[in-house]
């Protein structure tokens, strides 16, 4: 079974630039999560989708972060403009949701903002 795919694996940008991350969840998984993991900390939930609708985005800095999940499958997370404190690993995860909330994670995208 294919896992959660994320790209790119690494990205270095200058502050004030924009960046986008892509995630392809496991087939059949209705729930998709984006987490931010700063070095030395636990993953922090940014946004949760159920199919193509947003369930929770209370921790998403909406002045600079945006996310979408078109057609309830792939998702993109965008940062515009980036700040130094956005340097982190961005993890995408998916699950069956209500039927089974176990989250399966991708390898993540390591973002460095300089």
Where does this chain bind another protein (CB under 8 A)? 31, 33, 35, 41-45, 48, 50, 55-56, 91, 93, 95, 97-98, 100-108
Q: What is the DSSP secondary-structure string of the chain?
A: ----EEE-SEEEE-TT--EEEEEE--TT--EEEEEEE-TTS--EEEEEEETTEEEE-TTS-TTTEEEE-GGGS-EEEEESS--GGG-EEEEEEEE-TTS----EE---EEEEE-
Q: Which is nearer to another protein, 39 or 70 (CB)?
A: 39
Q: Which is nearer to another protein, 19 or 93 (CB)?
A: 93
CB of 33 to another protein, least distance (A): 7
Q: Which is nearer to another protein, 59 or 81 (CB)?
A: 59
CB of 88 to another protein, least distance (A): 14
Q: How far apart are CA 66 and CA 112, in angstroms?
A: 18
CB of 1 to another protein, least distance (A): 14
Q: Which is nearer to another protein, 20 or 89 (CB)?
A: 89
């Amino acid at each position: 079974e294919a896992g959660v795919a994320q790209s790119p694996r690494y990205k270095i940008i200058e502050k004030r630039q924009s960046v986008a991350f892509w995630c392809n969840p496991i087939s059949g998984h209705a729930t998709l999560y984006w987490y931010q993991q700063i070095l030395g900390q636990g993953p922090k939930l940014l946004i949760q989708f159920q199919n193509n609708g947003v369930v929770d985005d209370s921790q998403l800095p909406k002045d600079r972060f945006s996310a979408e999940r078109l057609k309830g499958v792939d998702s993109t997370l965008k940062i515009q403009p980036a700040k130094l404190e956005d340097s982190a690993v961005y993890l995408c995860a998916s699950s069956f949701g209500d039927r089974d909330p176990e989250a399966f994670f991708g390898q993540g995208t390591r973002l460095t903002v300089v």
